[in-house]
Amino acid sequence: MKRFSIFPALAFAVACGGGEPAEGAADSAPAVAAPAATVSAPVAPTGPLTMPDWFHVDADAQTVHMTLTAGGTPPWHYNDAQHGGQAITVPVGYTITIDLVNDDPVMAHSLGISADPPPFGGVVEAVTVFDGAITENPASMVDSTMPGETEAVTFVAETAGDYWIVCYITGHSFSGMWLYFNVSSDGSVGVQGA
């Protein structure tokens, strides 16, 4: 189980910040993101709900289809956002499909909807709040969504509330690989912070 020996070290390096390899990560972080060393929950992005080109709503069919691209050097991210730098809102009762594209050249990633809020520990239990809202083998370094792969999950957002999209690979959510995921009861839909 080599991931247990490798990842705490990586997470530690990220948490400590250091001076040297953080340049690229800092450049790609949205202005709303909290500093990487923060372990408390940052403030969620505000502003209007937008419809980026990776986010498609069909009100007649009551579906939302979105693409989340995972990758980057630590802190790892979805769609270039870390530490809740994006907030995704979907209407309650809609059927949601998320295509997780792993664009990271070297690292396994995963995705699921967590009912437990940040801050996240090094190990996030591989459970999800909505049936089907989790990629396969989400904590595995060798059998989750591997570099170059795309994995789709489809689920019904059946209960309104505040949730979080998390990566279950050890150390990833801890280091910032998570987004806000809100299920609205008033039909609100869109993305903040994109």
Residues shown for the chain? 194
Residue number closest to Cu ion, CB atom = 167
Q: CB 159 → Cu ion: shortest distance, Å?
A: 25
Binding site for Cu ion (CB under 5 A): 76, 109, 167, 169, 172, 177
Q: Which is nearer to Cu ion, 163 or 172 (CB)?
A: 172
Q: Which is nearer to Cu ion, 129 or 167 (CB)?
A: 167
Q: CB 183 → Cu ion: shortest distance, Å?
A: 23
* Neighbour-count burial of 5, counting CB atoms closer than 10 A to its CB (0-12 exposed, 13-18 middle, 19+ buried): exposed
Q: CB 193 → Cu ion: shortest distance, Å?
A: 19
Q: How far is C-alpha 174 from the geometric centre of its chain's CA atoms?
A: 11
- The b-or-e profile of 15-53 (16+ CB within 10 A means b, else e) is beeeeeebeebeebbbebbbebeeeebbebbeeebeeee
Q: Which is nearer to Cu ion, 124 or 189 (CB)?
A: 124
Q: CB 77 → Cu ion: shortest distance, Å?
A: 9
Q: CB 85 → Cu ion: shortest distance, Å?
A: 15
Say what the alpha-carbon torsion angle 100, 16, 23, 66 is, to the nearest 10 degrees: 20
Q: Which is nearer to Cu ion, 12 or 47 (CB)?
A: 12
Q: Which is nearer to Cu ion, 113 or 169 (CB)?
A: 169
